[in-house]
Structure 1
Amino acid sequence: MSPDTERWPTSDMAYAKAPGIVREIGWTAQAAADRSFGTTLGREFWLRKAALLDRIALAEGAEDRGHDAADVAEHAAARLMDVDDTDVICDPRHYVRQQYALWADEQ
């Protein structure tokens, strides 16, 4: 997937169609638990997990306080960029928001 770096949605725009945080926690936990040992998790898992962690960090106001949630969200976003093997240079969490918005529009 080749991101259009000219279009970076706000978090409100990116997550407008997202399920509730508790529901997404359940989905990511179940997806991780259901995989067979030794198998890798796919792009949808990493996208949804990165988006979930971004939303948690935003909800906690972690941006302004240097909170651990922001660090974890950044790490998950970087993992998604690795999975996508993207050469885009940007804030990884902005990338997650963009990719989540695109994915949500296709659902």
Structure 2
Amino acid sequence: MSTGTEQWPTPDTAYATAPSMVREIGWTAQAAIDKPFGTRMGREFWLRKAALLDRIALSEEAAGHGGDAIEAAEVAAARLMDLDDPDAICDPRHYVRQQYALWADEQ
């Protein structure tokens, strides 16, 4: 995990190789269903969920909407930052994009 001074990627760059939003909804739902009761979700789950919610919020923002979507994206992004406990102080959604781009490059 990197949290240094790397440039913040644009959404288009960060999500260039991301699966469709429908596929990611399916992945996050299945991951939650498959989780044994009482265990915590791992970083990949929170990263992918935060990225998905960010993508939904971006599409809503582009359409001139997005109140609930933006709030959900911000909450999920903050959850990822809490999990990672980075040294960086930044916009949580920018952090999600950076971390997703780095994670996607490793896949």
TM-score, reference length from structure 1: 0.93
Query: Which segments of structure 1 move beyond 4 Å, counting only runs of 4 or more?
Result: 62-66
Q: How many residues align?
A: 107
Identical-residue share of aligned pairs (%): 76
- Structure 2: 5+ residue stretches without partners: none
**Corresponding residue number in structure 2 for 1:90:** 90
State the 1:21 CA deviation: 0.2
CA contact (8 A) 1:28 1:49 kept: yes
CA-based RMSD? 1.6
Q: 2:77 aligned with 1:77, yes or no?
A: yes
**Corresponding residue number in structure 2 for 1:35:** 35
Alpha-carbon displacement from aligned partner over 1:9-59 (angstroms, at most 9, x marks no partner): 000000000000000000000000100000000000000000000000011
Alpha-carbon displacement from aligned partner over 1:64-92 (angstroms, at most 9, x marks no partner): 54611001000000000011111210000
| Counterpart Cα distance in 2 of 1:36 and 1:10 | 35
Question: Which residue identity is paired with 2:13?
Answer: M
TM-score, reference length from structure 2: 0.93
Question: Which residue identity is paired with 2:104?
Answer: A
| Counterpart Cα distance in 2 of 1:38 and 1:58 | 33
1:9-88 equivalences in 2 (<5 Å): 9-61=9-61, 65=65, 67-88=67-88
CA contact (8 A) 1:47 1:100 kept: yes
| Counterpart Cα distance in 1 of 2:6 and 2:17 | 21
Q: Which moved more, 1:38-47 or 1:64-73?
A: 64-73
